[in-house]
Structures are given as C-alpha cells and as structure tokens.
Structure 1
Amino acid sequence: MGKVLSYGELLLRICPDAEGSWLKENGLPFYVGGAELNVATALALWEVPSAYFTALPDNFMSKQLVEYVDELKIDTSAIQFQGDRIGLYYLHKGKDLKNSGVIYDRAHSSFAEIKLNTINWDEVLKDVSWFHFSAICPALSQAAADLCEEVLKEASARNISISIDLNYRAKLWQYGKQPGEVLPALAKYCTLIMGNLWAAERMLNIPVREGLVEEDQKKAYLEQAKTTSEELMKQYPKCTAVANTFRFDVGKGIRYYTTLYTEGKLNVSTEYTAEAIVDKVGSGDCYMAGLIYGFYKELPAAEVLEFATAAAFSKLFVESDATNIKADEVKEKVKNYVNEAVSF
C-alpha cells in the first residue's frame, strides 16, 4: 500500500476565552489544525504512511509550520509555497465548529487561491494509494471547488481510493453557490463517503424523512442511515462504503454512536456517553482517520467501525485539534463510557 494523502487548508485556531480575559493577559491560546491535517496527524500517529497537501505563503512562519508538521512524521513534500496568507479562525475553547460563534478569516488565503493547471499532479500523487479531502475545501471559493475537481479526476484516473468528509460550514459558503450545487460533481469520484444524515441531505440532496428529528428514536435514525447509504451508493457507483455519525449533546456531555454501510450491511457501533468532555473540535476528523486506518489495514467492516468510533469519542477528551492517542490505546481510553443500556 502507498501513502494516504490528505488535501486541505492548514489553519490556525485562535481561542479567545468567553470572558475576555485574553485582553487583560495579553495572550491568545492557539492550535495548528484544519480538518484534513487533523486526519493526517492521526494516521501518522497510528503509523500509516501519511502525506499532506496544502498551500502556504513563502515566509518564515510557514517554514516553521512545515517543520512542525514534519515532526509529526507527515510527508510535507507536496506542500505548495505561493500566495499571501495562512487561513485563521476564532473559536471559544470547548466549542464545536458548527457553533454560531465561530469566526472565519480565510478569504484570499494561499490555499483558496491555487490556480487550475498549475500543480504537477504526477508528482503530488506519486506513491499515493488513498486520497482524502473534505467538503470544507470547495466551500472556500469557486477556484477551490474547481481545483478539487481537477485533483479528483487525476486521483480517480490512477485508481486511488478517495474519501470525503461531508463537513458543512454554513459561514464558508459565500461565493454564490450552495453545497448541493457543488458536491455531487465531486462525490461521484469517492469510494468512501462520511458525514451524517443531514449533511448528506444538504450537500448531496439525499432527503431525510420528515419528522425524524422530532421522533428522536435510535431505531428510526438507523433505518434512515440504511436508506441514505443505499441511495448514496445508487447515485454514486464508485462508492463502496458510507459512514454516518450520530452525536447528541446531553447537558455538558455527549451521546455518540456511528454506522458503516458496506457490502449490503449496516454495521452499528457501540454507543458511548459522557457527562462532560474537553474539546469537540477534531472529533469527526479523528473518526474519518479511524475509517481510513481500518480500511487501509484491511480490517473487517465491524472492526473498522468500532476502531473509528472509539477513536472519535476518545478525541473529545483531548485539548487540541488532533488526537494524541495511539492506536493501541484507543479502546482502553473509552471502555468506561460504554452505554450498556443500549443494544441494537
């Protein structure tokens, strides 16, 4: 097997506290991240050959960031140095990126403004057997969406496995297109589609049954997961697996389980619950990395799902954008959070 190449924008997450103490203390905590870098970081930690494609301005700060990524044992040879700025976003610590308080500062970033027909894809995709990107990439600009399609065509032509995370970030879709107008043309290249029922509805136009949320029953959610997965495979013939996450806030805690549909069967994960967590950012990225890890290792579908789910849940207790929990520690970290009362 070759490398797993994660494709997306490197970001700095700036974390002002809700009370405004950062002004008095003259300091702002920050984390290095970006959805796809979080995936690459987890895979490298789990000893899967991991590479990363992004674009950064050619300056001393970018070089420091690349050195940081190198230290994570991620292949940075595909990183492009061009443009003028690194993308930023601001988010209170512990909050989710879906939170309305998130502030993006990513316009005209180096990654968002890569031009078509300027990248040597033969070089970038050399020795790559898996290509991963997220729906955040085409949300940035029309140019970014066009470049996604360009690289997906190249990867597909080389028979590289392709995965997409259907991350929906409402505040990013500001260039006149809705995700349902853009993502179907990209999803047709994908062999693994991950997201949730509502992301598939918004981005790939797969309807969710009316009244499902109001009903709020696990059995109904699982039935919809099967229906959505089957419809995705019907519409996108290259797709061989569909994963859905179910994450519900319970007070200050979380209830979490996931599904993986492949080879005509809906696999349902263990359900986990916690009364309190540390950081929601990056949990979905860790789940995506877990899926890639399992398929890369050619594990049975049920094992792929259980590892990915446990990895994602364990990330909720890590205060950074990417996980720092090794593969052989993942299941041990979550064993005390299994919801024994639930079985399906």
Structure 2
Amino acid sequence: MKKIVTLGEIMLRLSPPRFQKIEQTHLFEAVYGGSEANVAISLSNLGLKSSFVSKLPKNPLGVSAEQYLKKYGVLTNHMIYGGERLGIYFLEKGFSIRTSKVIYDRNGSSFSTAKLEEFEFDEIFKDADWFHVSGITPALNEELFRITKKALQVAKEKGITTSCDLNYRSALWSLDEARKKMTELIEYVDICIGIEPLQLLGEDGTDIKDRLPKPASVQDYKEIMGLIQEQFHIKYLAMTFRESISVNRNRLKALLFDGDTFYQSSEVEVEIVDRVGTGDAFAAGLIYALINNYDLQNAIEFATVCFALKHTIEGDVNLLELGDIEAFVKDKTTLSIRR
C-alpha cells in the first residue's frame, strides 16, 4: 500500500450554527481541521496509508484531536507532544450575498512552538512514497519555514514525490514575503497546486501574474501556468477555478499541466453546505489519482469531483470513500439513492 506523509497544524474549529454571526450565537459547533490534516484523512478514506506529523499539547484537546485523526485511520506514530495549547479558528458561514469569515486564534499554539530538532525525518519518511505540505505551515513563523524546507529537502534526497498546495493566506503573511519564501521552496516540489504566491518576474521587475485581467479567463491562466512551469520546471502544475453564482452556489472546474499538455476537467455546479477544506479535498484527490497512475485527464476529473463533493459535507474534511467518488465520476448526473 502506498504511504503518504503530511506535515502541518490541526486546529479546533468553532462555528455558530445555522449561518449565525458570532455576535448572535450562544453555541459553537466543534470539529477539527487544518489543511494537511484534511488531506491525510481524505487519503486514508480513499484507502491509502496516511501519516500526519504535527505537534500537539498533552491535554484533553490534544488527545481529542489525535483521536479524531485515528478515527479515520490516519497514522500518528510520529506525533510530537509539548506546548500549552491547540490552535483554534472560528468560522462564520456566509449565506446568499454575505460572505464567510474566518478568525484565527493560533498564536502560541503547540505547533507554532515546534523546533527543527524535534523532527526525525529519516524515521518520518521511512517507507514513504509521497510527502505533502501546504503554504500555510511555512507562513506561521520562520522556524516552521525552516522545518518545511528541511522536510522537502530530505524527501527529495530520498526520492520521495513531493507536493505543495500553495494556499496563500493574507492573514498570515504579506504577499511579498510569501512570494519570496514559497519561491525558495518550490525547487523541492514535484506537484504544485495553485500559482500564487510564486514569483514570476517580468523584465521590468514586476510580477507578471499581477497583470492578469480581472476577471481572468482560463486561457489567461494557461499562459501564466506555462511561464511558471518553464521557469521552475515543476512536473505537474494544477489549479482550480470557481465561478460564484452566489455564496451558496458555485460552478467548479480545474486544470492540470504537465509542461506539454493542458488537461481541463468537466464543470460541476454545486450548492454549498461547507466550503472550507474543498481545496484540500482537491489536493487529496489529485495525489490519489497520480500515485495510482491514472492517466492525466482522468486524474484531473477525479480530483475535481473530490473538490466538488466536499462542498456538500459539513466540517473541514471530505469524508466520502472511493466508491462514492467513483460513482459520481462515472455519471455526474446520477442523483438517485444508492441502495
């Protein structure tokens, strides 16, 4: 069985029920989530051997977060323990024309206090086939940037396939800092998801991506993806596209580029139960398809269906299993009850 290692922060997510604003509510619905943890759980649900590496506090919240991972079969045997608290984020879901809002409470979390010397990467990557990380982890502080870089370097030295979902978060760092740091990491990445915040400088010293028209077309992005692949020599570059009909209804599709050919998925229209974690579902679907040697058109179709179906699931994680996803890939118009 193929083994995938992910590294990042798992947090407690607190959300007011029934699309309430935080100021209105007296109750919060609690689940766990975080980009790399979401990917690890999705891959485990798809039948792969999935390991999640992080640092948790040795208290009931840390124990509960680890139990949540184990519930879905994720391996936590390289988990580090220490620090005083689990990171938290609050999600206020939007509705109709009111957008969603996220408030982070993660400063001083156990994961943010992690040190490079705490991670035994030779052991962590033992028998691993793939390593995945997001752009959120190196954004948290300089030490976690160093940890991410070292992990990617060791994985590459061992011949392990590496992937990164760039996941730019303006609440965590400036675009200029993100462009500098993520461009430094990309040389160790085989599969890149997204194009921002990679630096793509023109002759005048400005970033070519900043010149994209608004709204930009798929063809505009194809040109940028081609330039990025040419500059950074990434094996596969993928990205998703979202057309918002309303906050609760979107049209979705995705692109995959191998340096020669663009593979575009079918479009899927969805009504949204929960948008958080949809990009992680896409990343997991793409990893699953590529590690199982799907042809590239089928790989981007599978990943896009994972992306779309996650919108229908409450919480951070795509909890659908392989059979659910394959059934939708086979016939996207089938909405009857499976008996």
Could you tell me the TM-score, scaled by structure 1's length?
0.87
Structure 2: any 5+ residue segments left out of the alignment? 201-206
In structure 1, the residue matched to 2:258 is 262
In structure 1, the residue matched to 2:177 is 178
In structure 2, the residue matched to 1:244 is 239
Structure 1 residues 287 and 211: alpha-carbon distance in aligned structure 2, compared to 1, 3 A threshold: closer
Deviations 1:4-49 (A, max 9, x none): 01111001111123174432xxx21011110111111110000011
User: Which secondary structure does the structure 1 equivalent of 2:171 belong to?
Assistant: helix
Please tell me the residue identity of whatever aligns with 1:230.
Answer: G
Deviations 1:257-313 (A, max 9, x none): 100001510001001123x31110011100000000001111100111000001110
Please tell me the residue identity of whatever aligns with 1:328.
Answer: G
Please tell me the residue identity of whatever aligns with 1:66.
Answer: E
Distance in structure 2 (CA, Å) of the matches to 1:125 and 1:19: 41
The offset of 1:236, in angstroms, is 2.2
**Contact 2:129/2:161 (<8 A) preserved:** yes
Please tell me the residue identity of whatever aligns with 1:107.
Answer: N
Structure 1 residues 156 and 337: alpha-carbon distance in aligned structure 2, compared to 1, 3 A threshold: same
Structure 1: any 5+ residue segments left out of the alignment? 339-344
In structure 2, the residue matched to 1:89 is 89
Structure 1 residues 120 and 303: alpha-carbon distance in aligned structure 2, compared to 1, 3 A threshold: same
CA RMSD of aligned residues (A): 2.2
User: Which secondary structure does the structure 1 equivalent of 2:85 belong to?
Assistant: coil
In structure 2, the residue matched to 1:76 is 76
Please tell me the residue identity of whatever aligns with 1:336.
Answer: T
Equivalences for residues 1-344 of structure 1 within 5 A: 2-16=2-16, 17-18=20-21, 20-23=23-26, 27-93=27-93, 101-173=101-173, 178-195=177-194, 200-205=195-200, 207-208=208-209, 210=211, 212-214=213-215, 216=216, 221-237=217-233, 239-251=234-246, 252-274=248-270, 276-333=271-328, 335-336=332-333
**Contact 2:3/2:50 (<8 A) preserved:** yes
The offset of 1:209, in angstroms, is 6.9
Please tell me the residue identity of whatever aligns with 2:277.
Answer: G
Structure 1 residues 102 and 301: alpha-carbon distance in aligned structure 2, compared to 1, 3 A threshold: same
User: Which secondary structure does the structure 2 equivalent of 1:64 belong to?
Assistant: helix
Structure 1 residues 105 and 261: alpha-carbon distance in aligned structure 2, compared to 1, 3 A threshold: same
Distance in structure 2 (CA, Å) of the matches to 1:160 and 1:19: 43
Distance in structure 1 (CA, Å) of the matches to 2:127 and 2:191: 20
Please tell me the residue identity of whatever aligns with 2:52.
Answer: Y
Structure 1 residues 337 and 189: alpha-carbon distance in aligned structure 2, compared to 1, 3 A threshold: farther
User: Which secondary structure does the structure 1 equivalent of 2:262 belong to?
Assistant: strand
Deviations 1:84-122 (A, max 9, x none): 211111111368xxx673111111211122112332111
Distance in structure 2 (CA, Å) of the matches to 1:47 and 1:190: 24
Bigger drift between 307-316 and 146-155 goes to 146-155
Distance in structure 1 (CA, Å) of the matches to 2:218 and 2:60: 49
The offset of 1:2, in angstroms, is 3.9
Distance in structure 2 (CA, Å) of the matches to 1:40 and 1:57: 20
In structure 2, the residue matched to 1:341 is none
User: Which secondary structure does the structure 2 equivalent of 1:318 belong to?
Assistant: coil
Please tell me the residue identity of whatever aligns with 1:212.
Answer: P
Distance in structure 2 (CA, Å) of the matches to 1:57 and 1:142: 21
